[in-house]
Amino acid sequence: MRLLDFLFALRPLVLVPAWSFFILGWGLLGDAVAFPPDRFLFLSLVLAGVYLVNQVVDFESDRINRKGFFLQQGIFTRRLYVAAAGVLLGAGIAGAVVRDAFPALVVASAFIGLAYSLPPLRLSARPGFDLLANAAGYGLIAVLLGAGREALASAALRSWVAVPAASFLAVAAVFLHTTVMDLDGDRRTGKRTSGVLLGRERCVRLAAACGVAATAAALTSATPVLIVACAATAALAILAVVRPSFPSRAVCVGSTILFVLAAALFAPLFLVAIAALALATRLYYRRRFALAYPAL
């Protein structure tokens, strides 16, 4: 049970957006034939380590926002999380260097992730920088890492600028809604985020603007799958503006599903794997914590 607990303590569902954009980078900018498992693994290891660090730092706000369980209920200790994070980060970076699997971007992913959570930078508590860090980590680095150096060297300038730009803006739109969801806990713990600074209404409007900009960037890339995903994300974000009762969770979950489906066009088994992971996670949380997670 402890091993199973630790597997879900890594919060694998949080990795889904990064995986989706990695696959989109591979499919839209790479060769979409030889999938790069090494780069995929090293990115996953680094992000898993970063998420453990984030859970340690955000212990109190996660407790209030009902996002944390394992540390808050004493299942695992913060010391174990820190040690495991060190192993995961070290393995991901060392593997990328040894395999020459675009190590610069793997290191950049680790740096942004740690800078997001840890002082003195702690970008997660710096309005604007929290938004940029998330958009860069998911929508930029994951896409470029999926594409690979060789593909970026040979791809048309318009494509390798437009695709990451559209992904960056789409992630920004979704992130703004995640910060709206965390407003209560962030305010109560004194954490200054983009959501705390802007408030719900301005956050939602900025998210819609990012969604529209993402769609415009996708149109210049001339890639139908990205255009549809960004346009649908923009529609959800606009709906949240038009109907204030429309929940931010619906924007986040809906957009995540859209990009999973887009990625699945290049890797059909990805959809099967994510569906199985979501089902396993729901069954685990129901049995372990009597909680319906992920919420449908």
Nearest Cα to Cα of residue 251 among 201, 187, 176: 176
Q: Considering the domain boundaries, does residue 285 fall inside one?
A: yes
Structural domain contains residue 294: no
Q: Residue 152: what pLDDT? A: 75
d(CA 231, CA 276): 27
The C-alpha atoms of residue 174 and residue 70 are separated, in whole angstroms, by 26
3-state secondary structure of 75: coil
Q: Chain-wide mean pLDDT for the chain?
A: 92
- The two tokens of residue 281 are 């996670």
Please write the tens of the pLDDT for every residue from 75-116. Answer: 899 999 999 999 999 999 999 999 999 999 999 999 999 999
CA dihedral 54, 58, 64, 65 (to 10 degrees): -30
Kindly state whether residue 295 falls inside one of the protein's structural domains.
Answer: no
Flag whether 62 is in a domain: yes
How many folded domains does the chain comprise? 1
Q: What is the largest CA-CA distance in the chain?
A: 52
- On whether residue 90 sits in a domain, the answer given is yes
pLDDT bracket for residue 296 (50, 70, 90): low
Tokens 């660090």 sit at which residue?
53
Domain membership of residue 296 (yes or no) is no
Q: What's the CATH number where 280 sits? A: 1.10.600
Residues ≥6 apart with Cβ < 8 Å to 157: none
Residue 12, pLDDT above cutoff 80: yes
**N residues, the chain:** 296
Whether 54 is covered by a domain: the verdict is yes
- C-alpha torsion sign, points 237, 296, 181, 270: negative
Domain that holds residue 188: 2-289
- Write out pLDDT tens, residues 137-190: 999 999 999 999 888 777 666 678 899 999 999 999 999 999 999 888 788 888
pTM of the entire predicted model:
0.94
Query: Is there a contact between 46 and 92 (Cβ–Cβ < 8 Å)?
Result: yes
**pLDDT value, residue 49:** 96
Residue 128 CB: number of other CB atoms within 10 A?
A: 12
